[in-house]
């Protein structure tokens, strides 16, 4: 079989019209000789709405919010003229998530979180699979939790990438049967105890990569609302251009530094399996696109700019003011791992260890708890991180003119500056 993987994010399944567009796009893109895994995120903003249910302390209010989300998905099913049997399947799959979350609340709020937010992906894939079937495609629905086996903390679970081929055997067998297209979920997996897990926000790109490796796909295509990987955010720079070819190593650097077009963990499994990754626009399928593959020594022809807003600088130091030595750093890095914080920049002095991360009050609370009484923390929020790849001193100076620079680092082709926020970003 010629196997390929396509991934669609929340914006591409936000309503019935968008789901119909997915059907049209797949009909145009899929070859008759191909078997296809289609990975789908939750409908736009659904995960945020489910998080609101999880954080609500009153059960009566949780149920009201829940009914609203279920109704929204049933309305989309109605717009797609799907059957009453499908609507019941949709409701049942969602209700299982709500029940599991309620059962988990008294044991682990993080486990409850994973159970409730999984409803978004299970619901969206139910709708997409049903529409593709109604449109005449040969299609099946797959519970990704039967393939993505996880370990570690809830909310940012880990996957043993070395065992993916074995984990994917049942999905490969399913794909060898009648259905040409298999629709499944991103973002979620299953722990060994049977509980639902999640791979971290925006983790569906990573899911697509994992599934591609699991089934031995020849390529992965991630469909976005931008024409591939651009050298800068087009909302900030009207002259941003598509970079048509990006080496795996460069893509890893860019995703680590915060390039939002792909999830940071997406590239590595594809690199190891020699699977090319395409980033295309579902708004212009035949327009500019990016291929991420093995392009040794290839350097982008234009500087790459990455802005990360809403950053927090965290200063960690020992409670007794002593030097930070290796034993301390072992504790610090363990606590960072336990808290789920993704470090975007770090810097050490004799007594302080500073890190920059996306602002998250929940993760900060977990970090403080994990560090214990032997450390103290200070945090400074409302910051911005600018990363420039393949630029020069003039470029970084122009981009940050008029701003207060709190931290600066340079390593090879990468310039990084932590800046205080200002009302308008200079062009």
Give pLDDT tens digits for 124-167.
999 999 999 999 999 999 999 999 999 999 998 999 999 999 99
Asked whether residue 164 falls in the same domain as residue 23, the answer is yes
**Three-state secondary structure readout of 183-206:** EEECCEEEECCCCEEECCCCCHHH
Q: Which of 170, 196, 224 is the last residue of a domain?
A: 224
Residue-level pLDDT at 427 = 47
Asked whether residue 160 falls in the same domain as residue 54, the answer is yes
Q: Which H/E stretch holds residue 315? A: strand 304-318
> What angle (nearest 5°) sits at the alpha carbon of residue 189, between those of residues 122 and 100?
65
193: phi > 0 → left, psi -120 to 50 → alpha, else beta; which?
alpha
Question: What percent of the chain has pLDDT above 90?
Answer: 80
Residue 266, domain member (yes or no): no
Residue-level pLDDT at 220 = 97
Asked whether residue 177 falls in the same domain as residue 52, the answer is yes
C-beta of residue 307 within 8 angstroms of C-beta of residue 424: no
Residue 284, domain member (yes or no): no
Point out which residues pair with 414 in neighbouring strands.
389, 411
Q: What's the distance, Cα to Cα, between the start and end of the chain in Å?
A: 50
Q: What's the average model confidence in pLDDT over 64-69?
A: 98
Taking the CA atoms of 71, 74, 76 and 78 in sequence, report the sign of the dihedral they define: negative
Asked whether residue 311 falls in the same domain as residue 400, the answer is yes
Instruction: Give dist(CA 269, CA 217) in Å, integer.
Output: 12
Residue 289, domain member (yes or no): no
pLDDT tens digits along 266-324? 999 999 999 999 999 999 999 999 999 999 989 888 999 999 999 999 999 999 989 98
Domain of 126, CATH number, reads: 3.40.1160.10
Residue-level pLDDT at 425 = 47
Domain of 396, CATH number, reads: 3.30.2130.10
C-beta of residue 226 within 8 angstroms of C-beta of residue 281: yes
pLDDT tens digits along 224-274? 988 999 998 888 888 899 999 999 999 988 887 877 778 878 999 999 999
Structural domain containing residue 86:
2-224
Residue-level pLDDT at 252 = 87
Strands (E), 41-141: 139-141
How sure is the predictor about 423, in pLDDT bands with cuts at 50, 70 and 90?
low
Residue-level pLDDT at 426 = 45
Residue 419 phi, psi (nearest 5): -125, 150
Residue 212, domain member (yes or no): yes
Q: What's the average model confidence in pLDDT over 374-399?
A: 91
Torsion of CA 404, 409, 415, 419, to 10 degrees: -20
Q: Which of 224, 256, 271 is the last residue of a domain?
A: 224
Residue 172, domain member (yes or no): yes
Asked whether residue 181 falls in the same domain as residue 44, the answer is yes
Asked whether residue 213 falls in the same domain as residue 310, the answer is no
Q: Does residue 206 have a pLDDT over 80?
A: yes
Asked whether residue 51 falls in the same domain as residue 169, the answer is yes
Asked whether residue 217 falls in the same domain as residue 324, the answer is no
Q: Which of 183, 200, 224 is the last residue of a domain?
A: 224
Other CB atoms within 10 A of residue 308 CB: 20
Asked whether residue 188 falls in the same domain as residue 335, the answer is no
Q: Does residue 1 have a pLDDT over 90?
A: no
C-beta of residue 358 within 8 angstroms of C-beta of residue 342: yes
Asked whether residue 12 falls in the same domain as residue 134, the answer is yes
Taking the CA atoms of 156, 40, 107 and 357 in sequence, report the sign of the dihedral they define: positive
Asked whether residue 320 falls in the same domain as residue 205, the answer is no
pTM attached to this predicted model: 0.87
Question: What percent of the chain has pLDDT above 70?
Answer: 99
What value does the mean pLDDT of the chain take? 93
Asked whether residue 75 falls in the same domain as residue 216, the answer is yes
How sure is the predictor about 424, in pLDDT bands with cuts at 50, 70 and 90?
low
Residue 165, domain member (yes or no): yes
Residue 261, domain member (yes or no): no
Q: What's the average model confidence in pLDDT over 120-126?
A: 98
Residue-level pLDDT at 168 = 94
Residue 360, domain member (yes or no): yes
Question: How many domains does the structure of the chain reveal?
Answer: 2
Residue 193 phi, psi (nearest 5): -80, 5
C-beta of residue 231 within 8 angstroms of C-beta of residue 304: yes
């Amino acid at each position: 079989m010629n196997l390929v993987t396509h991934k669609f994010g929340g914006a591409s399944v936000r309503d019935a019209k968008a789901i119909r567009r997915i059907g049209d796009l797949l009909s145009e893109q899929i070859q008759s000789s191909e078997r296809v895994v289609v990975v789908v995120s939750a409908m736009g903003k659904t995960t945020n709405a489910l998080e609101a249910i999880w954080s609500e302390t009153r059960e009566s209010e949780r149920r009201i919010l829940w009914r609203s989300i279920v109704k929204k998905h049933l309305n989309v099913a109605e717009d797609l003229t799907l059957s009453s049997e499908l609507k019941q399947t949709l409701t049942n799959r969602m209700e299982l998530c709500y029940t599991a979350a309620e059962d988990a609340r008294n044991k682990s709020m993080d486990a409850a979180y994973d159970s409730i937010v999984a409803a978004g992906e299970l619901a969206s894939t139910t709708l997409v699979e049903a529409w593709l079937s109604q449109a005449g495609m040969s299609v099946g629905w797959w519970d990704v939790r039967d393939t993505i086996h996880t370990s570690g903390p809830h909310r940012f679970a880990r996957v043993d990438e070395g065992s993916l081929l074995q984990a994917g055997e049942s999905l490969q067998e399913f794909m060898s049967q009648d259905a040409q297209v298999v629709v499944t979920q991103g973002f979620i997996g299953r722990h060994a105890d049977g509980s639902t897990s999640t791979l971290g926000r925006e983790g569906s790109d990573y899911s697509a990569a994992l599934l591609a490796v699991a089934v031995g796909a020849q390529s992965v295509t991630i469909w976005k609302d931008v024409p591939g990987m651009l050298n800068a955010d087009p909302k900030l720079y009207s002259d941003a251009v598509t970079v048509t070819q990006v080496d795996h190593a460069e893509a890893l650097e860019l995703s680590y530094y915060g390039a939002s077009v792909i999830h940071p963990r997406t590239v590595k499994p594809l690199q190891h399996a020699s699977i090319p990754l395409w980033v295309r626009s579902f708004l212009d399928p035949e327009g500019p696109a990016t291929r991420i593959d093995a392009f040794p020594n290839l350097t982008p022809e234009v500087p790459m700019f990455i802005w990360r807003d809403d950053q927090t600088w965290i200063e960690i130091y020992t409670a007794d003011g002593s030097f930070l030595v290796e034993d301390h750093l072992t504790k610090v890095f363990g606590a960072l791992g336990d808290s789920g914080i993704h470090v975007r920049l770090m810097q050490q002095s004799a007594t302080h260890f500073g890190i920059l991360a996306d602002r998250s009050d929940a993760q900060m609370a977990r970090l403080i708890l994990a560090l214990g009484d032997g450390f103290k923390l200070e945090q400074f929020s409302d910051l911005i991180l600018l990363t420039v790849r393949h630029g020069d001193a003039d470029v970084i100076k122009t981009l940050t003119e008029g701003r207060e620079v709190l931290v600066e680092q340079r390593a090879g082709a990468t310039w990084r500056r932590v800046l205080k926020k200002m009302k308008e970003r200079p062009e």
